[in-house]
Amino acid sequence: MNNFGLYTENTPLKLYLTVAIPGAISMIASSLWGIFDGIFVGRLLGETAFAALNLAFPFVLINFSLADLIGVGSSVPISIALGKKQDEDANNYFTCACIMIFATGVFMGAILYFFAPLLMNIIGAEGELAALAVRYIRTYAIFSPFTTIMFAVDNYLRICGRIKGSMLLNIAMSIIILGMEYLCIGVLKMDIGGSAFAVSFGIMVCAAIALYPFLCRKLPLRFCRPRFSFSMIKQIVSSGSPIFLSNIAARLTSVIMNMALLKEGGQNAVSVYGILLYGGDVLQQILYGACDSMQPAIGYNYGAGNSKRVLDMEKCCLTVGAVISLLGTGVMLLFPEQIASLFLKEGERHLLSMAAHAMRIFSLTYLTRWFGFAIQSFLIALDKPMPATILSVANAFIFPVLLLAALHPLKLNGLWLNSPITAVLVSLLALFIIIRIKRSKALDKSSLS
């Protein structure tokens, strides 16, 4: 079976199991570095450093989101072009995308390095809390040109059928980062900057490994002489904008949430919010892997005109997403203290009880989040950026910000309820969008008959 026979010759269920399970494992592995970061900083460096990490991390992720914009945005036309047997176009998209990612890494690294103090000042952080957050951001910024490519090359490996290779690479990245975190913080007793260096080092090593087979021309996607055009850049930005805007909006929402948390409960509330995000991130990444890993297959079959296979694959995504979310909700409801204690020093009981209460509320998010997430991923794979963008921005920014005002009288409980209510509203919006799309197709068919 050739590299793309995987997407066309297996039954939809077998294809889903072959692609999505390694994809989910890969995403879990790739998210573990963030969890290791939180655990080492929280347990070894203390509450103030952990709060600083949570203030700084949204800005780090905004930088990585630009690579995601280009990576996902180029993956959609690459998959469709390969489905149409247009290999030269696919290689040009791939080459130009890699150059764009490096350039944005340089630009955003410089922005973050020089503006980090101002950003912390805007949020309202002061003293040691602000100083630690600035140090964390600046360390990431220095290595930005060499780390951001990792968040796109993973997509390219999956397009080329290297599903297991992508999974193993992400596992290796988390293992390297775990070892470096232990060395930098546990052995060398470095501060929060050591944590950022440990993560950057692990990402750089794995990015070099991931790029090696492309440089050696061992995969269907190959580097070529780049041919940039306005239409190509527009296509990449258009296809990647739903994920990008979702990521950016989510980070901006995190910044706004941190400002509200500092006002309502100080750095303790910021720490608890960070624990919720870390606790939910594993489940979020499983969902992301289960849906996002199918995008190349859906895009390839869509480009090849296999509409029935496309719909069958999306049914698999919805079913598995629901099961994963229900199981995850149960775990967070039953073991909130055990999850929260991973990120806290011994004896911080005041934070532990506060975090456990918040997590029980936050866990309700995943009763409905799976539906909106699966529909958004499906729309991206079909190159329908506008409805996907509406869905992603509503989920990451519009609904959460509106709810911040609406739930303000409930104080901290209102902040913990923000995510579950947002998930319900997004699911309703996703259902509305799908119904509208189906009705418009039905009208088009009736007008032709």
Q: Is the pLDDT of residue 441 over 70?
A: no
- 111: which 2 tokens? 């922005």
Q: Is the pLDDT of residue 124 over 90?
A: no
Q: Which residue type is seen at 323?
A: V
Cβ neighbors of 334 (< 8 A, separation 6 or more) are none
Q: Is the pLDDT of residue 444 over 60?
A: no
Q: What is the pLDDT of residue 31?
A: 73
- 21: which 2 tokens? 């399970």
Query: Looking up tokens 């020089």, which residue turns up?
Result: 114
Phi-psi region of 383 (alpha: psi -120 to 50; beta: other; left: phi over 0): left
Rounded to 5°, the CA angle 48-52-57 comes to: 150
Q: Are 41 and 49 in contact (CB under 8 A)?
A: yes
DSSP states along 358-410: HHHHHGGGGGTHHHHHHHHHHHHHTT-HHHHHHHHHIIIIIHHHHHHHHTGGG
Q: What is the pLDDT of residue 449?
A: 43
Q: Tell me the C-alpha distance between 239 and 70, whole Å.
A: 9
Rounded to 5°, the CA angle 378-380-384 comes to: 105
As a whole number, mean pLDDT of residues 313-318 equals 81
Per-residue pLDDT band at 2 (split at 50, 70, 90): very low
Radius of gyration, CA atoms only, the chain: 21
Secondary element (H or E) of residue 171: helix 163-181
- 355: which 2 tokens? 């975090």
User: Which of 314 and 64 is assigned the larger pLDDT?
Assistant: 64
Q: Tell me the C-alpha distance between 338 and 73, whole Å.
A: 38
pTM: 0.74
Q: Tell me the C-alpha distance between 427 and 116, whole Å.
A: 36
**pLDDT tens-digit readout, 345-398:** 776 777 888 999 999 999 999 999 989 888 887 887 777 778 888 888 898 899
User: Which of 279 and 142 is assigned the larger pLDDT?
Assistant: 142
Q: Tell me the C-alpha distance between 355 and 123, whole Å.
A: 22
- 321: which 2 tokens? 């997403």
**pLDDT tens-digit readout, 143-163:** 999 999 998 888 888 888 787
Q: Is the pLDDT of residue 5 over 70?
A: no
**In the chain, what percentage of residues exceed pLDDT 70?**
91
Q: Is the pLDDT of residue 298 over 80?
A: no
Neighbours of 445 (CB within 10 A): 9
The full set of domain ranges for the chain reads 16-448
